Amino acid sequence: MRTLFFITLTAALQAADPERVILDAVSVKNLGVETVEAQEATFESTIFALGSLEVLPGKRAILSSRIPGRAFSVLALPHQQVEQGDELMWVESRQPGDPPPTIMLPAPMTGLIAKVDISPGQPVHPDQALMEIVDLTVIEAAAHVPQHLAGKLAVGQKARIRVATQPDKVIEAKLAHLGVYAEGQSGTVEAAFHLPNDDLTLRPGLRAEFSIITSVREGVTTVPKAALQGDPTSRFLFVKDFELENAFTKVPVQTGEQNDREIEILNGLLPGDEVVTRGAYALGFAGKGSVSLKEALDAAHGHPHNEDGTEMSKEQAAAHEDHHDHDHEATGWTQLTTFFAATSGLLLVLLIVATLKRKEVAA
């Protein structure tokens, strides 16, 4: 009971005297502070998985020769775009003739030359793979989902996909099919998505990250993941102070579920609060800030406060005014006295010099 009492008392004291970071306008700009308004919205529960990009099944072809011979000419180069039926190479047959007969090998499909494994003059065998052609206009993104989460997957679910070469770009796609077999060694199930790739920037073998949406809830208070600070046992947000300019209050919060974009806030945040997103991490190291609480409240309310930010009593306000006036008057008399002292000293010096010169002339 005693422990519970002290915990409740501590929480009450913290709520009564929130921790603030108060900055000047320049500091806020240098930190690049940005805020978003907390509000109830739709929250998407997601499964995170890693995977890679692959050639879509049926979109790969191998060029080979039905007759043995020698590569007479090779017309294709790696990364060359070809159309079905284009000339790729000529093979000189081993049949006798003068010259020996040659045959042309056409492109078996439209696509991109991925590999060229033959050079002019090399022998050619019927079981030899001479070239590889792939169609990358649509590419498969294969996620490897852990088995204990695979039961939440269903064809048609949406996912947000990020590829290693384009980390800031999010590609949205629907789950096309699930793997028939679970991968025994890794303990995962394949979830495949088909991605349009007209500009051919997505390439097989690239690593990818998947956030697969499994369910949706309405009316959930969320904030961007960048806003949440602290360790797992003590989470907090920086909320823009509704009264003081360039001031941010440290607000402890209770968190719930999170996805690749947002975190659910169960307690501690009110709708309409402006939560710091960009610059939140830096604010955690700003201490109390560059402006005192007294200065900020004085500027906001137009009258003086105590150093701890509390309102001054009538007696304290009167004493403050008397002290301020006394300081102002003392400063004024000091300056005036200094001026007269300097003037008197100068006149005294001039008088002494004139007296000495007069004595010299009389002598």
At 101-117, the pLDDT tens digits run 999 999 999 999 999 99
pLDDT > 50? residue 41: yes
Sign (positive or negative) of CA dihedral 291, 297, 299, 304: negative
pLDDT of residue 318: 60
Task: Over range 60-71, report the average pLDDT.
Answer: 95
Task: Over range 194-210, report the average pLDDT.
Answer: 95
pLDDT tens digits, one per residue of 203-257: 999 999 999 999 999 999 999 999 999 998 899 999 998 888 889 999 999 999 9
pLDDT > 50? residue 53: yes
pLDDT > 80? residue 285: yes
High-pLDDT (> 90) share of the chain, %: 61
Report CA-CA distances (Å) from 212 to 54, 122, 142, 155, 159.
18, 49, 12, 11, 4
Closest listed residue to residue 239, CA positions, set 206, 279, 266, 212: 279
What angle is formed at CA 159 by the lines to CA 158 and CA 161, rounded to 5 degrees?
A: 150
Query: What is the token pair recorded at 346?
Result: 């100068």
pLDDT of residue 358: 73
pLDDT of residue 336: 54
The C-alpha R_g of the chain, in whole angstroms, comes to 39
Say if CB 210 and CB 51 are below 8 A apart: yes
Average pLDDT taken over every residue of the chain: 84
Biggest distance spanned by C-alpha atoms of the chain = 144
At 15, is the pLDDT very low, low, confident or very high (cuts 50, 70, 90)?
A: very low
At 52, is the pLDDT very low, low, confident or very high (cuts 50, 70, 90)?
A: very high
The type of residue at 304 is P
Tokens 């009593």 sit at which residue?
313
Looking at per-residue confidence, does 84 or 288 come out higher? 84
Closest listed residue to residue 361, CA positions, set 225, 353, 248, 265: 353
pLDDT > 60? residue 294: no
Q: How far apart are CA 54 and CA 39, in angstroms?
A: 40
| Stretch among 23-27, 174-178, 327-331 having the lowest mean pLDDT | 327-331
At 98, is the pLDDT very low, low, confident or very high (cuts 50, 70, 90)?
A: confident
Q: How far apart are CA 50 and CA 145, in angstroms?
A: 7
Residue length of the chain: 363
Query: What is the token pair recorded at 162?
Result: 């990020």
pLDDT > 70? residue 140: yes
Q: How far apart are CA 343 and CA 341, in angstroms?
A: 5
- Does the pTM surpass 0.75? The reply is no
